[in-house]
Each structure stands twice: as C-alpha cells, then as structure tokens.
Amino acid sequence: MWLLLAFCSAALLGFYDVFKKKSLAGNAVLPVLGLNTLFSSLIFLPFILISHFRPEWLQQTIFFVPDAGWEVHRYILLKSVIVLSSWTFGYFGMKHLPLTIVGPINATRPVMTLVGALLIFGERLNLYQWIGVLLAIVSFFLLSRSGKKEGIDFQHNRWIWFVVLAALLGAVSGLYDKYLMGRFDKMVVQAWYNVYQLFLMGGVLMFLWWPKRKTTTPFHWDWCIILISVFLSAADFVYFYALSLDGSMISIVSMVRRSSVLVSFLFGAMIFREKNLTSKAIDLVLVLLGMIFLYIGSTH
C-alpha cells in the first residue's frame, strides 16, 4: 500500500514541477515562493481550525489535526526551516535551468536519502534495490554530459549547485520526515509546517525582497502559482500517509517519488520545447529502470 501511495505522490510532484517552471518564467522567485506558502497554508488552515473548535466533525477522518504543544511544534518548526531552505535554492535553480536538466538531478536525491537511511534507520537494501540506486547514480553523471551540450558546466554553474543544494536539503528533510512520522500525527506535521513556512517566508519577503524589488526581476501574477500549492499539498499528503504506514522504507519511498521526473520531462519536451532531448532521454530511461528495480526489490 505504501509503495502505491509513493507512486501516486510522484505523479502529483511531476505536475507540481511543471506548474512551478511555468510560474517562474520571467518572474521574481521570492514572491512566487511566498504565494506558494500562503496558498498551501490556506489549504490546511480550515482543518486546523475545525479540528480545534469542532473536533467531532473531523475526528474519525484522515484530515483531523490533533492539538499539540510546543514539545511537538519545535520539531515541526525545524522541518519548516529545512524545507523552505530547500525550496529557495530549488526555485532559483528551476528558473535558470531547463526542466529536463533539473528533473533528473532531483531524481538523484534519494541516493543521498539512502545513505542517511542506511546510517540512521538501519534500513537494508537487497540486490535489486542496489541495482536501482546504482542506475540512478550513473544517470547523474550522464546528465552532466548532456548539460555541456547546452553550455551548462556542472562544476562552475551556480544554478546547478543551487539545485544540488536543494536536493541535499530535500534528502535531509526526507530523513527527518521518517523520524517525525514515527513520533507524531501526520496531519499535525503537514498542516503546521505549512503555516510556519508562511511566517518564515513573510520575513524573507519583508527584509530581503521588498527593499530591492525595483532593482530585480519584477513580479507578475500567474494562475499556475495556485496550482503549485494544490499539487504540492496533495503530493505531500499522500507521501506523509505512506510514511506513517507500518513497514514503509524512506529510502524506497524517496526514490519512487523522484519518478516524477517522467511527468516533468514530458512537459519540458512538449510545452517548453527544450533541447538535446535524445541524450537526456537516455538519462531518464536509466532513472526509470532504477525505479523498476526498486519496485521489484521491494516486493521480494
């Protein structure tokens, strides 16, 4: 069950990346990110309020948000800081790089998560799962060769490093999610980390973007900004639910979620008309083969 939920989350994440790329085209990054945190918070705020003032309405559903004290919220606040840092790097990288480059780089994120899962949670992979991980690693190095054809030097391009940093922080967040799901209610974590992100992002906008807004890329409204929040919230909801189930492995769930690259790659080719698709498609095939081996390994 948890594996199917991970694939569902992957599909939703793919559309999230597409709408994010569309919203960032020629747009100011920080306001787009700020609105994303606003709309995500508005999605979950009704559940928080109803659960507190009219708990009987939601108590028997998966949308109930139990009350929690500071001993819980301090962990969620840390989660918000990690995720918002990852998003900030990721949004800037997404704006300046082709979607067909960013997607496969993000697809290697679970390799970092895997190392952490092995060291922290004692998870063990079988032969099929190791083959899947190795294929993902190989795809990253091949992707760097594809990027050079577009004048993107992986070693000296700062936007590449932004995406890599976002992936690294995303891996840390994934490991932390496994820890949180083992201790706290999933809706408490998801609902409140979105609210905390809104306040953190408000500070960023007030002190970093607003004073310099006239000297940087101007902001313009795009309806896709709302869709970013909708698809991300849905993807995270399914993801947290998967992690809360007995037997779920963060190393596998994280890897499967990166198959979202298939959706973003197809849209990058068809909608954004990106280049060098043949060589990138080979990289993508390796990523997908890795997902297949992971799936086979998890069913043995």
Residue pair 43/229 in contact by the 8 Å Cβ criterion: yes
What residues contact 252, with CB distance under 8 A and at least 6 apart?
3, 6, 129, 294, 297, 298
The number of C-alpha atoms within 13 Å of 202 and in the hemisphere containing its C-beta is 9
Question: Cα dist. 162→36, 44, 90, 121, 246 in Å?
Answer: 19, 29, 6, 28, 35
What string of DSSP letters covers 108-173? THHHHHHHHIIIII-----HHHHHHHHHHHHHHHHHHHHHHTTT--TTT-HHHHHHHHHHHHHHHH
CA 93, 96, 98, 101 torsion-angle sign: negative
Alpha-carbon radius of gyration of the chain: 19
Residue pair 126/94 in contact by the 8 Å Cβ criterion: no
Interhelix angle for 127-148 vs 277-298, to 10°?
Answer: 170
Q: How far apart are CA 238 and CA 175, in angstroms?
A: 16
Amino acid (one-letter) located at 65: V
- Each residue's pLDDT expressed in tens, for the chain with a length of 300 residues: 888 898 899 899 989 989 998 999 899 999 999 999 999 999 999 999 999 999 999 998 999 999 999 999 999 999 999 999 999 999 999 998 887 778 777 766 766 777 777 777 776 778 887 887 788 777 766 766 666 666 666 677 888 899 989 988 988 998 898 889 889 999 999 999 999 999 999 999 999 899 989 888 999 999 999 999 999 999 999 998 888 888 887 767 877 787 787 787 777 777 766 666 677 777 778 877 877 786 677 666
Residue pair 135/58 in contact by the 8 Å Cβ criterion: no
Q: What pTM did the predictor assign?
A: 0.84
